[in-house]
Structure 1
Amino acid sequence: MKLVILAAGVGSRLYPLTSDRPKAMIEINGKPLIEKQIEEALKKGIKAEDIYVVGGYQIEVLKKVLPPKVKLIENPDYNTKNNVYSVALLKDHLSDGFILFNSDVVFAPEILDELFLENYPDVLVVDDVNPLDEEDMKVVIENGFITHISKKVNPREAQGEYIGILRFSRDTAQKVINRCWEMVEAGEVNGWYETALNTLLPELKIRPVSTRGYLWTEIDDFKDLEYAREIAQKINW
């Protein structure tokens, strides 16, 4: 199985920590986020040569912590285009299915265990335990399948939050990559790959994999970072 890690972002809300490094290089317990994510992937049997990192901001700093066999894809437009472009760039590099991590996610190893235990090929990891707020990337689940993913979903109508970890089969992966390209070509460069995915949900069958209450967090700002460092002690991150 291939692994894609999206790590092109600046992390402007974490300045000045990110003045000389990408958000993916912020340290938790003395280790950069992306380095720990790769360690967890290797423990699950993913090979270094099957890992693709999309970098952009301060890419030379990022390069220093990547194992030699990891493939680094450059997003030169990281400052003007959102992660829809990072996923679109996979078109020339990856024709298989893959697991994807957003590089700013800290997660208990048990969450990956849940992902690997799930045999269904097309899944998003969803926190269906904790309360939702307006800024979360929320999902609607009907009859066991995800029918909507967006930050615009009313929290009262959502069944959980997508945590930034997914797995797609080859066919689904290529459909999502191609739709991201279509968005970029249409000038929709400030969107998320989740927006591209949302437009495809009527024709796809995507299931949720629950976090089952295991700890995780996305790091967007200093409040998130403080929480990440707090839970890192509990999950041996």
Structure 2
Amino acid sequence: NNMYSAYLGKAAMGDSDFLMMNADVFYDASVIKSLLLHKAPNAIVTDLGIYIEESMKVVEKNGRLVEISKQISPEETLGASIDVYKFSYEAGARFFEKCKEFIEDKRELQMWSEVALNAILSEVEFVACPLEGRWLEIDNHEDLAVAEKLFA
């Protein structure tokens, strides 16, 4: 249910490319560096070969991502998204248009930003950026304690 928060950031993006990430994920600085250096204008940092039931997963066909969802089967999954995304200005504009549809037109205020992202994958090419480094999603105090040890 972070789509509304992402949509509020639209004005700050202006006419530029941008990165979008969830604030509940810790990762090495190398993750951002590799994403910025990745040749594709639109990419999702992906922990390849990893299946985490509660995480967003991605499906790849012919070198491009065609689906992002929590409901993807292990057999279809390329890997787990670590919730770090690179958007070109054009892809970002289309993403925010889709967010507007959900939020302003359909009044659906409790959606994940990945729902809007998934809706544009058929028209905007995104690729997987292989994870380079460590990451951990923080959902509770136990996760935070693990992250503090891992990243100390």
For 1:201 and 1:218, the matched residues in 2 are separated by 24
Aligned 8 A contact 2:102 2:108 in 1: yes
Equivalent residue, structure 1, for 2:146: 227
Q: Of residues 46, 60, 64 in structure 2, which corresponds to 1:126?
A: 46
Aligned 8 A contact 1:216 1:231 in 2: no
The equivalences for 1:1-40 within 5 A come to: none
Aligned 8 A contact 2:20 2:84 in 1: yes
Kindly provide the amino acid, as one letter, of the partner of residue 216 in structure 1: W
TM-score (norm 1): 0.60
For 1:92 and 1:215, the matched residues in 2 are separated by 31
Deviation at 1:88, TM superposition (A): 1.6
Deviation at 1:147, TM superposition (A): 0.5
For 1:195 and 1:207, the matched residues in 2 are separated by 17
Equivalent residue, structure 1, for 2:72: 153
Structure 1, unaligned runs of 5 or more: 1-81
Equivalent residue, structure 2, for 1:115: 35
Aligned to 1:155, what secondary structure does the other structure show? coil
The equivalences for 1:41-56 within 5 A come to: none
For 2:8 and 2:27, the matched residues in 1 are separated by 26
For 1:136 and 1:109, the matched residues in 2 are separated by 21
The equivalences for 1:159-198 within 5 A come to: 159-185=78-104, 186-198=106-118
How many pairs align? 150
Larger radius of gyration: 1
Identity of aligned residues (%): 33
TM-score (norm 2): 0.91
| 1:25-71 superposed Cα distances (whole Å, 9 cap, x missing partner) | xxxxxxxxxxxxxxxxxxxxxxxxxxxxxxxxxxxxxxxxxxxxxxx
Deviation at 1:220, TM superposition (A): 1.1
Q: Does 1:87 align with 2:87?
A: no
Aligned 8 A contact 1:126 1:160 in 2: yes
Aligned 8 A contact 1:126 1:210 in 2: yes
- Cα RMSD over matched residues? 1.5
For 1:115 and 1:133, the matched residues in 2 are separated by 21
Kindly provide the amino acid, as one letter, of the partner of residue 195 in structure 1: V
Deviates more, 1:190-199 or 1:152-161: 152-161
Deviates more, 1:214-223 or 1:173-182: 214-223
| 1:155-186 superposed Cα distances (whole Å, 9 cap, x missing partner) | 23211111111110101001101111110120
| 1:180-200 superposed Cα distances (whole Å, 9 cap, x missing partner) | 111012022111110001011
For 2:151 and 2:12, the matched residues in 1 are separated by 33
Aligned to 1:208, what secondary structure does the other structure show? strand
